[in-house]
Amino acid sequence: MEYLTSTSKEVSELFTCYYGDQKTELSKASYYLLEAEGKRLRPAMFKLAAESVTPGSSNQIMSGALAVEVTHTFTLVHDDIMDDDSLRRGRPTVHVVWNEPTAILAGDVLFARAFVLLADANADPSRKVEAVRILGKASEDICEGQQSDMAFEARDDVSADEYLEMVRKKTGVLYGTAGALGALLAGASPEVVSAFMTFGEHLGIAFQIQDDIIDLTRETAVSGKDQASDIREGKQTLIAIRAREKGIDLTPYQRNLSSDEIQEIITLLTEAGIIADITAEAQAYIDSGVACLSILPDSQEKELLLDVAQFFIQRAY
């Protein structure tokens, strides 16, 4: 947590240097969510990957870490519009503060900035070209994942494999890209870059599975999220899919739920072994991701990467 906190502070200071002087409404809207901070897990992944490959290299290429974070933020701005969400990171969403057209443009600005930031990295030009390719492909995958997620809302037969592939694209790919870009720009071999991509993808899948568990089992005061909203909205999460596979019908709970009713659902799924099974699935993804890092020599950064991996499934928010 100490490392994540210090990295978050570093990233925030860099964003202030790059974008803190907003002169137009669009620049203000683009900076709005960056200023709100967040966990900054992707920049931390980038920095740790770079340092594990070439100690001291991250200072020269931190604009690459910013590129990953602004890409993530662009997706949040657009997701909030599509989902008509009114809050993000405890603040009104961009389209609520301004309007939908401005929010769409703000997301587009962030997306464009990502590639400018990659170009600013002090790294070998051929590696920066490859970095652009990786981030461009990741952005395409994220959009595909979001489309699948929205399409699933109209279905009640989504398979676990379909769900996990959607999560890999929507969430896992950008974590993988963060590690891969950090390693690539720091001078890593293709094998190490590939290992970081797989590591991050698997951690991202586990992160989303843990999010599904948190949504149901953690009270709003702890998680900061509307408890059991996935169940209430009938979302095709891994919890809902595994419940359906065991013959448990959750559709009667697609309504406003009391605290007692939420506890009833938790008890039902716990007794059926579903919560334990899903927790084990998340741990399996963490374990397989961690195995990819065996290619790295031992270092403090490698140990921190392993700690981050466990944080992904041990967090309560």
pLDDT digit string, tens, across residues 218-268: 887 776 667 888 898 888 999 999 999 999 999 999 999 999 999 999 999
Q: What is the pTM of this model?
A: 0.92
User: Average per-residue pLDDT in the chain?
Assistant: 93
More confident residue, 39 or 76: 76
| Token representation of residue 170 | 């929507």
Question: Domains in the chain and their CATH numbers?
Answer: 2-314 (1.10.600.10)
pLDDT tens digits, 291-305: 999 999 999 999 999
Q: Shortest CA distance to 94 belongs to which of 20, 21, 33?
A: 33
What gap in Å lies between CA 112 and CA 21, rounded to an integer?
18
Phi-psi map region of 252: left, alpha, beta (phi>0 left; psi -120 to 50 alpha):
alpha
Two tokens at 225?
Answer: 């999220």
Provide, for the chain, the percentages of residues in helix, strand and coil under a 3-state DSSP scheme, each rounded to the nearest 5. 75, 0, 20
